[in-house]
Structure 1
């Protein structure tokens, strides 16, 4: 995890150990159930750990921030972020029960108590969150529809509550009907070729009329 220490010098040895264990557990379970693309397993540090933690370069979640990882799959980006933000609370949801069962095993092995995984659809949740995060789960239009009524109006972070997505490629057509968003190019943080077209897309809560 040399790159991890290079790009995140503030990370503690304890957190590095947790992330290494997470990587090992994902590799073990991935032989039984397809949590992540098998072609990415050997490039896990870059394509999964660094990619997920790039969100921490955009926002430092404050204590007691409530974060929902929508369509978490292999616990990404929720679990890596929960390790580096131990004072924030993470909920990981996915409609595939087998993946959630595995994630609960992984969370137990990691012994982290600020993250919970559940096999549930977002429309069936009875709780709201400060931020909804995901990795290219859906189109922007559909994502905004899914998040309706699930984002807290009032927040306590440096940016307004909203949606934070890890995306790739050209987003012009996807965002042509939207004017309230921010794009952060990940190549501004990382020099690896993997990040050349990768981006963070941030959308302030589109359902809060107090947002300008």
Structure 2
């Protein structure tokens, strides 16, 4: 019953968002959701427990930032249960995705997803952002329900290319977080996200260095 509901919700949501996916990609997304649901019972990967809300609040919410993902190699910090990194990697198989999290249980889950879903374009790193030393800085770094903007730029500025930007996913517009951004950083653009079936506001803040 759950699988049929998810399939219908996903199909309708993708149509509403005008995201054309192959049947195989849709099945991959649903297989990921099933893994997330299964592991969540033991590992507390996400706060969403209601199976009727999972497609909207996990898959469609992750895919809502697709129009702004322009880099060939995205870093997802505080990747947790793989949101938005894994849904994006499924939809954009020609791009590379690195998922970083300091929680060993969560990175074990992410590695299992990579293995079971055959995601050759995903790397998982267990560690803290401050300790990460990439060969090349990233032009885009995504963050969803990870930390305040001030922490994001302080912890991850060394991972971001000079001309790069953070894609920070938020609920309500975080006026207090924007006001607390350190000197040298700015919200270069804000986008209201329309996620079918999800109540409440959703925003994407693109944060970059001041020119």
TM-score, reference length from structure 1: 0.84
**1:192 to 2:175 alignment:** no
Aligned to 2:45: 35
Confirm or deny: 8 A CA contact 2:48 2:54 kept in the other structure: no
**1:3 to 2:8 alignment:** no
**1:173 to 2:171 alignment:** no
**1:140 to 2:149 alignment:** yes
What is the distance in 2 between the residues matched to 1:41 and 1:191?
15
Deviating beyond 4 angstroms after TM superposition, the runs of 4 or more aligned structure 1 residues are none
Aligned to 1:158: none
Confirm or deny: 8 A CA contact 2:56 2:198 kept in the other structure: no
**1:202 to 2:206 alignment:** yes
Check 1:191–1:80 CA distance in 2 against 1; reply closer, same or farther (3 A cut): closer
Give the Å deviation of 1:145.
0.5
Matching of residues 105-184 of structure 1 within 5 Å? 105-127=112-134, 128-153=137-162, 161-177=164-180, 179-184=186-191
Give the Å deviation of 1:191.
5.0
**1:56 to 2:63 alignment:** no
Give the Å deviation of 1:112.
0.8
**1:17 to 2:34 alignment:** no
Give the Å deviation of 1:148.
1.6
Secondary structure of residue in 2 paired with 1:130: strand
Q: 93-102 or 30-39, which moves further after superposition?
A: 30-39
The structure where helix makes up a greater share of residues is 2
**1:67 to 2:74 alignment:** yes
The structure where strand makes up a greater share of residues is 2
Confirm or deny: 8 A CA contact 1:182 1:203 kept in the other structure: yes
Give the Å deviation of 1:38.
4.3
What is the distance in 2 between the residues matched to 1:180 and 1:137?
17
Confirm or deny: 8 A CA contact 2:83 2:144 kept in the other structure: yes
Secondary structure of residue in 2 paired with 1:27: helix
Give the Å deviation of 1:81.
0.5
Give the Å deviation of 1:146.
1.0
Check 1:84–1:144 CA distance in 2 against 1; reply closer, same or farther (3 A cut): same
Check 1:56–1:177 CA distance in 2 against 1; reply closer, same or farther (3 A cut): same
The count of aligned residue pairs is: 195
Confirm or deny: 8 A CA contact 2:77 2:100 kept in the other structure: yes
Secondary structure of residue in 2 paired with 1:18: helix
Give the Å deviation of 1:24.
0.9
Give the Å deviation of 1:35.
1.2
Unaligned runs of 5+ in 2: 1-9
